[in-house]
Amino acid sequence: MSASTAVRQNLRFKGKSYLALVLTPEEPYEAWIEELADLSARSPGFFATRPVVLDVAATGLPPRDVKALVVALDRIGVRVMGLEGPRHLKLPPGMPPLLNGGRQASGIEVHEEGEDSQPKAAAPTGSLVVENVRSGQSVVFPDGDVTVIGSVASGAEVLAAGSIHIYGTLRGRAVAGAYGNPHARIFCRKLEAEFLAIDAEYLTAEGIDQSILGQPVQIWSENASIKLNVLR
């Protein structure tokens, strides 16, 4: 290192926590993959909008079989961001990293009207009304609009085929038009969101104009970007 090279004295790292979906493989693994493929086909936005962790701690699978599972999941549109397993597991190159110390959270609620129900993105017909969505909870509704009579906490998530109406504060994640409906909208009484998305367009907390935080807002997609407007 030359004498003129500047040395950074204080290197800082930021810490953030994210809500992830944890999948635990079940035998027979081929049938388990088929069930996930069916869910992914019926609800394309279910896996596309959230990080996925594969928990192989209790499977006893060798590294080559873990890799085969990751590849099989990727083929059906489920991209694994991390693996949870024994620390001594030796993974081949190119595999997601091993994760440890995850905090248990509530399970995912998938609301469907029947086994044969299909998402109707262009013209959603159903509606779902829920109360407060607590941290760690995820409400997924592939058949229409979602109305929250309350607030969506930080670390919580609401995903809908149609629009999302929140009568309280939006602190967590909201994904409207999740199955290919660019005309869906998000309405909330008080905006403090961590993540916003309409169809394929999204906006993180860092990209939200600070001047509209804490106000009633409507959110929509226009010209391949997310638009926000204060409701008067």
**Domain at 189, CATH number:** 2.160.20.70
Per the structure, the complete domain to which residue 142 belongs is given by: 108-230
- Which is nearest to 108 in space by CA: 36, 162, 148, 158? 158
Task: Mark whether 46 and 132 lie in a shared domain.
Answer: no
Question: Is 13 part of a structural domain of the chain?
Answer: no
Task: Mark whether 58 and 119 lie in a shared domain.
Answer: no
pLDDT on residue 105: 54
Domain end point (choices 99, 122, 148): 99
Task: Mark whether 84 and 114 lie in a shared domain.
Answer: no
- Own/partner contacts of 89-95, CB < 8 Å, gap of 24 or more, are 89/56, 89/63, 90/63, 91/63, 91/66, 91/67, 92/63, 92/64, 92/67, 95/63, 95/66, 95/67, 95/70
pLDDT, tens digit (0-9, with 9 covering 90-100), for 96-107: 888 776 655 555
Task: Mark whether 195 and 116 lie in a shared domain.
Answer: yes
Question: Is 164 part of a structural domain of the chain?
Answer: yes
Q: Are 157 and 138 in contact (CB under 8 A)?
A: yes
Beta bridge partners of 229: 218
Burial environment of residue 130 by CB neighbours within 10 A (0 to 12, 13 to 18, 19 or more): middle
pLDDT on residue 103: 59
pLDDT bracket for residue 49 (50, 70, 90): low
Question: Is 16 part of a structural domain of the chain?
Answer: no
Task: Provide mean pLDDT across the span 21-46.
Answer: 82
Domain end point (choices 75, 99, 123): 99
pTM: 0.56
Task: Provide mean pLDDT across the span 210-217.
Answer: 95
pLDDT, tens digit (0-9, with 9 covering 90-100), for 2-28: 555 555 566 676 666 666 778 889 999
Task: Mark whether 145 and 162 lie in a shared domain.
Answer: yes
Task: Mark whether 112 and 225 lie in a shared domain.
Answer: yes
pLDDT on residue 146: 93
Record the tokens describing residue 196, joined without a space: 């916003």
Task: Mark whether 173 and 91 lie in a shared domain.
Answer: no
Amino acid at 31: A
Which residues 6+ apart lie within 8 Å of 103 measured at CB?
none
d(CA 189, CA 169): 6
Record the tokens describing residue 214, joined without a space: 């804490």
